[in-house]
């Protein structure tokens, strides 16, 4: 049993190392979304959707406010469940 845990930890470490080494090239290799009015306009169909997804709108507005600071300081975000 202990050997399985050791091998599992080694595998996790190898994958983490690979990810960290490739972080600098990640932005250039990922496709991006073109910003359109659909992404900049709130389109809730009803109050239930608004309650469920308004956190995304709040996050977007906050990100827009922080845009200039992130150019200098960078950004790290965590999506937590409510």
Q: How far apart are CA 61 and CA 15, in angstroms?
A: 34
**Pairwise CA distance, residues 63 & 40, whole Å:** 12
Q: What is this structure's pTM?
A: 0.42
User: pLDDT tens digits, residue range 51-81?
Assistant: 888 888 888 888 888 888 888 888 777 766 6
Give a yes or no: residue 29 inside a domain.
Answer: yes
Residue 10 lies in a domain: yes
Confirm whether 79 is domain-assigned.
no
Q: Determine, yes or no, domain membership for 6.
A: yes
Query: How confident is the model over 24-61, as pLDDT tens digits?
Result: 888 788 777 776 666 666 777 888 888 888 888 888 88
Structural domain includes residue 33:
yes
Among 57, 27, 29, 23, which Cα is nearest to 41's?
57
Q: Give residue 55's domain range.
A: 2-73
Asked if residue 52 is part of any domain, the answer here is yes
The domain tally of the chain equals: 1
């Amino acid at each position: 049993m202990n050997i399985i845990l050791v091998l599992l930890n080694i595998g996790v470490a190898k994958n983490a190392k690979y990810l960290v080494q490739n972080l600098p090239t990640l932005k250039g290799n990922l496709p991006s979304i073109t910003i359109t009015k659909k992404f900049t306009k709130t389109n809730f169909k009803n109050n239930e959707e608004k309650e469920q997804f308004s956190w995304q709108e709040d996050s977007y507005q906050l990100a827009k406010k922080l845009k200039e600071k992130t150019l200098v300081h960078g950004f790290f975000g965590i999506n937590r469940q409510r």
